[in-house]
Amino acid sequence: MVVGMRVHHPSAALVAWGNAWLTGHVGLDEAVDAVERQGGPHVAAGIPEARGEMPLRGGLATLRVAGLSALRLALPAPGDPLGLTGPPAFNTAAIEAEEAVLASVGAQTFGLIPAEDRRGSSYVGTRWTVHETPSAVADAPLLPEADHRLTLAVRDATESLMSVDGTMEWRPEIAEALGALRESHHHEQMGGLAPGYPARAHRVAALAGRLAVVVDLARGTEGAALSAAQVSRRAEALRDLDHAVRRARVAACNSVLDAVR
């Protein structure tokens, strides 16, 4: 079974725009508006000293008063708790959600996990649940390392996925996407993050986003004519892509905090 990935992560948006707000590059309203463009209205439940749930704007403001200084992204998968620090119950919930945000608030750290929030027939938003987590920085890749590994992943994906033992078993759009990645890796346009991030982070985030689409497309390919060896090779290639893309996204979103690690 190939472990897939979610192409769009509300956690990545919250980390990128939240850190842009915390570093003074955008205002709170602009940051929240950017986050909610991807997932509808956002609410948060479990914020310390707050009763019940509250809109994301108010939740962030409350955490800021309490000492919120940084947001870090976690994109875990089974067997790979990337960005997590525990406890086990929180890690399990984050792995099930495939994402989480770690918020540094004074001497404490809180973990936020998003879930789809449906109310009635038309309301669709995102609900964040806040958990207490250890005050520790997870072992996560720095941007230069993640960038290098992503470069290797593009090369390996082109070789392994476009030609499985010499046979083309991929839908045309997958081959086209892989070819574009191979040709344009050094010419990525900036995008995908928020103001205040270095150009390299924007480029890595943009490339990772395109690779995530490739993985998502490839997961939908049946490959019925492939041999057992070819199926195994394809599954391994997709796992490697998933791993490289998640590490790249974490490194890009957390890169504004690298100096304080």
* Radius of gyration of the CA atoms of the chain, in A: 19
Show the tokens assigned to 186. Answer: 């050094």
Q: Read off the pTM.
A: 0.85
Q: Give which of 102, 128, 125, 130 is closest to 114, Cα–Cα.
A: 128
Quick one: 123 and 36 in the same domain? yes
Quick one: 76 and 169 in the same domain? no
Quick one: 119 and 175 in the same domain? no
| 138 domain-assigned | no
| 23 domain-assigned | yes
Quick one: 61 and 172 in the same domain? no
Backbone angles phi, psi at 126, to 5 degrees: -130, 135
Q: What's at 226, amino acid-wise?
A: L
Quick one: 160 and 94 in the same domain? no
Report the chain (261 residues): mean pLDDT per 10 consecutive residues: 56 96 97 91 91 93 96 95 94 96 96 91 90 87 94 80 53 58 44 86 90 76 67 80 93 85 51
Three-state SS across 128-192? Answer: EEEEEECCCCCCCCCHHHHHHHHHHHHHHHHHHHHCECCECCCCHHHHHHHHHHHHHHHHCCCCC
d(CA 227, CA 95): 31
Choose one of 103, 133, 163: the last residue of a domain: 133
| 149 domain-assigned | yes
Q: What's at 195, amino acid-wise?
A: P
Quick one: 73 and 159 in the same domain? no
Total tally of structural domains belonging to the chain: 2
Quick one: 161 and 250 in the same domain? yes
Q: State which residues form the domain around 26.
A: 10-133
DSSP β-bridge partners for residue 109 = 104, 133
| 228 domain-assigned | yes
Q: What's at 237, amino acid-wise?
A: A
Quick one: 166 and 101 in the same domain? no
Angle in degrees, CA 97, 252, 17, rounded to 5: 75
Residue 61, pLDDT score = 96
Query: Each residue of 59-75: pLDDT tens digit?
Result: 999 999 999 999 999 99
